[in-house]
């Protein structure tokens, strides 16, 4: 089973219409940040000390196909990257991995076609992240629009026999910079043997420390960094 020995602080680079944006709770109509040139934004985080970047193709998440592959592959040359958003065809996932992406994040497909995703994960051990996106305690798919009956723990446990990692995102607090729901995070981390990365709601250094204390493998930070509420340099010291 996959093991981890380090905790990672991971800046998010969400791309929509060729720009880096931040959305509130994944809603495409609620844009709080908009910055030109994703490649330069990614380069800035790397220069400031980020070892891993979290890249999401938001157009892809909404439309079901990748839109920004060229930009994503350029960013992958700067640092270790995990990439998601609209990867609903495993040939696309394979192309990204072969193109230099370190890990692909699979969400909708991980719910709809478990066998195929497991087979793919076995071909690429350690290079698949299963996105467990939760709204009001239930997994959501297709750009966080469609609600399923699965709980986050139920979905995560489906993949415990694979060498994958879990990306747990609490959509209820995503983009609000209002603080993490540490109880829900702890439930997921403690319920599975897989490495769990956490996203959603991070607002300060203590949120990062709380996520780390839960035993998570890393934390993805977006809006808090882009609004200046949190400085990357202030939390990189939490890495091991």
222: helix, coil or strand?
A: coil
CA distance 138 to 53: 26
Q: Which residues contact 12 (CB under 8 A, 6 or more apart)?
A: 53, 54, 56, 199, 220, 221, 222, 225
Mind telling me the catalytic residues?
Answer: 14, 133
Strand-pairing partners, residue 139, are: 134
- First-to-last alpha carbon distance for the chain, in angstroms, is 21
Instruction: Compute the distance between CA of residue 167 and CA of residue 195 in angstroms, rounded to an integer.
Output: 9
Separation between Cα atoms, residue 171 and residue 151, nearest integer Å:
13
Alpha-carbon distance of 92 to 65, in angstroms, equals 9
Instruction: List the one residue out of 163, 134, 153, 233 whose CA is nearest residue 191.
Output: 153
Q: If you search the block for the tokens 């239930």, which residue do you land on?
A: 138
CB 153 within 8 A of CB 192: yes
């Amino acid at each position: 089973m996959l093991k981890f020995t380090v905790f990672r602080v991971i800046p998010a680079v969400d791309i929509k219409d060729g720009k880096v944006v931040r959305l509130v709770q994944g809603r495409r109509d609620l844009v709080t940040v908009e910055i030109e040139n994703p490649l330069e934004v990614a380069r800035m985080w790397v220069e400031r000390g980020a070892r891993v970047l979290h890249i999401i193709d938001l157009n892809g998440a909404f439309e079901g196909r990748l839109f920004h592959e060229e930009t994503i592959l350029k960013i992958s040359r700067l640092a270790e990257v995990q990439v998601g958003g609209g990867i609903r065809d495993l040939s696309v996932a394979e192309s990204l991995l072969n193109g230099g992406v370190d890990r692909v994040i699979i969400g909708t497909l991980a719910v709809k076609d478990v066998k195929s995703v497991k087979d793919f994960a076995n071909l690429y051990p350690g290079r698949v992240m299963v996105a467990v996106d939760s709204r009001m305690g239930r997994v959501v798919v297709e750009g966080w629009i469609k609600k399923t009956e699965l709980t986050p723990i139920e979905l995560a446990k489906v993949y415990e026999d694979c060498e994958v990692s879990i990306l747990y995102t609490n959509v209820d607090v995503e983009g609000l910079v209002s603080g993490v729901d540490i109880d829900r995070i702890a439930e997921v981390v403690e319920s599975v043997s897989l490495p769990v990365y956490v996203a959603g709601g991070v607002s300060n250094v203590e949120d990062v420390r709380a996520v780390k204390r839960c035993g998570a493998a890393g934390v993805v930070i977006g809006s808090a960094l882009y609004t200046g509420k949190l400085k990357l340099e202030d939390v990189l010291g939490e890495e091991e």
